[in-house]
A and B are shown apart, each in its own frame.
Chain A
């Protein structure tokens, strides 16, 4: 089967369990029958503290192909995610996820997620992926841009708040 990809992803998962950036989640999807889909990871990226993104815990799906790690995974937020460099369908436009740009087989899942987190707070002016957020960002309508990001952050704070009960 997808021997190399599978092996590498098991390794990535093992490393992640021992060491991951605080508050991040990255795990292979568990199917309804209890089996694990190693090629499809469900991740969460916390918004950077002290920024307009901070309230949110943003869901990102990573889909790996059998050609991984020769080819990068496809990273996707939910469709309609508000960010200049994210396509309408949620796909992330980032150089380290592009095999014709900066993707290297040595790039870890951790590096991918940290890279995406950086993209959230530091959009690239050169790579418009959706017109909605890009137009607002480009014309420097700062208050509208920030308001939209904060509304979105609050929306994605909800899922994290399910967990906000004190330990007993």
Chain B
């Protein structure tokens, strides 16, 4: 939880640079996490990396792109995300039900 801007690599090294895109996740308090991912990386992996980084439960977060919630089985390529695009991360708020 040090700085607000952090780089997280979801894929190991050794991939072509051109195959990697930068996806930026912003939260309510305008904290940013930058991910370097392959366009074909499943978002489930990115959710987990984000949750680990923030020390929260992956089930408690949702990423929205253009107002649409991204699902774990989707990839940046499928959703139409390009290099440098920003996603909004919402924390699930559970009411007293």
Contacts and interface: CB of A to CB of B under 8 A. Distances in A.
Interface in B44-96: 44, 47, 58-64, 66-73, 82, 84-86, 88, 90, 92
Contacts of B5: none
A20 to B, nearest CB: 7
A168 B66 contact: no
A74 B30 CA distance: 30
A149 B72 CA distance: 35
Interface in B1-41: 24, 26-28, 30
Interface string A152-168: 00000000000111111
Contacts, number: 56
Interface residues of A, number: 15
Contact of A166 (B24, B59, B73, B82): B59
Contacts of A166: 59-62, 92
Contacts of B71: 167-168
Given A163-B68, A165-B69, A168-B71, A22 B88 contact: yes
A167 B69 contact: yes
Interface of A: 17-20, 22-23, 25, 27, 44, 163-168
22 contacts: A17-B84, A17-B86, A18-B84, A18-B85, A19-B86, A22-B28, A22-B30, A22-B88, A23-B28, A25-B67, A27-B66, A44-B67, A163-B64, A163-B68, A166-B59, A166-B92, A167-B59, A167-B61, A167-B62, A167-B63, A167-B70, A168-B44
Interface of B: 24, 26-28, 30, 43-44, 47, 58-64, 66-73, 82, 84-86, 88, 90, 92
